[in-house]
Chain A
Amino acid sequence: MMNHAVEILLVEDNPDDAELAIRALRKSNLANHLLHLYDGEEALEYLFNEKNSKPKIVLLDLKMPKIDGIEVLRQLKTNERTRTIPVVMLTSSKEDRDIIETYQLGVNAYIVKPVDFEQFGKAVTQLGMFWLVLNQTPQ
């Protein structure tokens, strides 16, 4: 996978959630260029390595061990190179206090992981479509 340009970077510590998300994306043929990383530290290492291509979208879980989603977002948005990458936050509930903070940091969207897997699949797929197919990011 490292040989291909990564289009979607999924940062998610919960393997079940990750598997379900990947499965939903795969169903819509969006998972071909997907890289799954398990925590914030890995994500930052990958994104700040200039040898790696910039992903078209980052799906970022909010709560993760070591470095959490908010910290990853902050570092991405303050770095000149990674500032323009669209970031979508994945959260467990829309009541999260952190949502406001993520908007202040410049998040592009967020989705609440629904308990209902069907809805979750739909949400992830629509999001993937929007950012990968329709949205033109400045290069």
Chain B
Amino acid sequence: MRFELKVLIGFLVTLSLVIVLGIYSYENNKNQLEASHWVNHTNEVLYRSEQLLYTLTSLEAAQRGYSLTGKTDFLIPYATEQDSVASQISYLFLLTADNPRQHERVTKLHALIRQKLLFNAQVITLRKTDVQQSIALISSLKGKYLMDVVKKTFTEFISEEKTLLEQRTLENQKQTAKFNLLFIATLSITMLILLILFYTIYINLRARKKVEKELRGAMADVQDLYDNAPCGYHSLSSDGTVLEINHTLLKWLGYMREEIIGRKKIHELLSLDSIAIFQHHFPLFQQQGFIYNVEFNFLRKDGTPLPVILNSSAILDEQGKFIKSRSTTFDYTEQKLAKDKINTLNQELEAFTYTVSHDLRSPLRSITGYTQILQEDFSRQLEGEGKRLIEVIIKSTRRMGQLIDDLLSFSQLGRKELLHNDIDMNLLVKQLVRELSEQARKHSLEINLHPLHPCHGDYKMIRQVWNNLLSNALKYSEKRENIRLEIASYIEEGETCYYVKDNGAGFDMQFVHKLFGVFQRLHRINEFEGTGVGLAIVKRIVTRHAGRVWAEGKLNEGAIFYFSIPNQL
């Protein structure tokens, strides 16, 4: 169970227990109050009944005193208390309304007391007029009996009330004991739950503190990596203000952190041409969320430029709004120097090949030209061997011219800008096949052209690849009676592969590594013509398209030449 859920459940249980405890205490308190009310009530009844009995006793004493002595002083209680007897009885009557048995007793007492008081009144009245008669009335013991019955009834009444009192007090004590037990139990459970809850929270808090500490350590590590990485890091806000920057970039630029963060906008740190690039790319970047390999020139504090390669991704909030950039920069100084050097070397190479092509071709032209003059104008003076030698010279110079041309076009391939076209390979190959099969008309030619996948690349260059492969296939098959070519393509792991299969002279697989080298030939010149540049050109073009070339073959049985072009160039 999740920690938060545990704590919530623990809290809810504790809360319910406290509420239950509160309600229970309230109820118990109410019951207790009621119980003590009944005890009070019983005490009141007892008190009232005893008071009534006392009043009656004192009236009895007054009547007896008067009867004995005839002194009216004894009759004072009659004046003061006789009237209160009625009200005392009716009060008692009211008090016992809840208990039918006692109520009945009070009714009975009421009747007895009235008889007794009437008897007393008779005795007192007789005593005033005739002492003997009154003595006789007293001696009839009627008064004594009446009084005995009254006392007995009172005793019963009081005893019942006392029993009630005992019962109620006992009940009350039981209730209190039960409440105390339940209260303590619930309280203990609540405390136990609270303890468990506290322990759980404490354990959790300790774990959190540990994680926090580890996290702080990890963050310090990350910060250290960020600051001392071998590349520059920085972040920009949407208006181009520098929000973060690492030590490495600061060191490169020669600034202090305080001089940059929140104070400088990025264009204050860029060269003029880079500001234009930034202003062009930054809005685009904020939309598309990333930018790769852009060249920028930072300006150091001392004003010297710092060429960098920049990659950046945008940090967005949950609504997709731009928060900041996170950019990585690499010092591009050395690469730039190397690149400039390569450019210089390339230019030198180009100048060299240009000169070679011009300067070598010129004497070559003279040799062919003059040899031809020799052949045309002086053939009569020449023997058969002399004519053959002239043929050899002409043929050799022609071949040298071809070699120079091929070398020149090969060297130019590497420098030519690559164009990006969507190429319909079917159309391209069909055209080429038509042109080439016209040249090979004298042979029986069977071409199996499967539908080809389209590709993305430089149209002219790819056409050159097909041209070289197809003319090679025809050239090396021309000694066959029936030339059979198969052209097809297939897709494999992010690249499209094309191949040309022929049934020609083939080659020995142990020389396969030589096939694509410049001026490498696997056949003697008098077997098949050629300068050995065709496949080297194929390789160079395909490599420039980030593709691969390879071949399979068997001597005298044919060859398959493959090339692949990546689907994403």
Contacts and interface: CB of A to CB of B under 8 A. Distances in A.
Nearest to A14: B362
A116 B373 contact: no
Contacts of B510: none
A63 to B, nearest CB: 6
A113 B401 CA distance: 11
**Interface size class, chain A:** 10 to 19
A45 interface: no
A17 B364 CA distance: 10
Residue from the set B358, B363, B398 with the largest chain A CB neighbour count within 10 Å: B358
Chain B binding site: helix, strand, loop or mixed by DSSP? Answer: helix
B416 to A, nearest CB: 11
A23 B373 contact: yes
Given A20-B366, A117-B372, A120-B365, A92 B357 contact: yes
Interface in B386-406: 397-398, 400-401, 405
Contact of A93 (B372, B400, B405): B405
B368 interface: yes
A50 interface: no
Interface in A84-130: 92-93, 95-97, 113-118, 120
B401 A92 contact: no
B361 A115 contact: yes
B155 interface: no
B412 A95 contact: yes
B366 A17 contact: yes
Contacts of A117: 365, 368-373
Contacts of B364: 115
Given A115-B397, A116-B401, A93 B361 contact: yes
Most chain A Cβ neighbours within 10 Å, of B362, B363, B401, B408: B362
A80 interface: no
B204 interface: no
B409 interface: yes
Interface string B348-359: 000000100110
Interface in A12-30: 14, 16-17, 20, 23
A115 B368 contact: yes
Contacts of B405: 93
Given A93-B405, A95-B408, A113 B361 contact: yes
Contacts of B401: 114-116
Interface of B: 354, 357-358, 361-366, 368-373, 397-398, 400-401, 405, 408-409, 412
Interface of A: 14, 16-17, 20, 23, 63, 92-93, 95-97, 113-118, 120
Given A95-B354, A113-B361, 4 more contacts: A93-B408, A95-B357, A115-B361, A117-B372
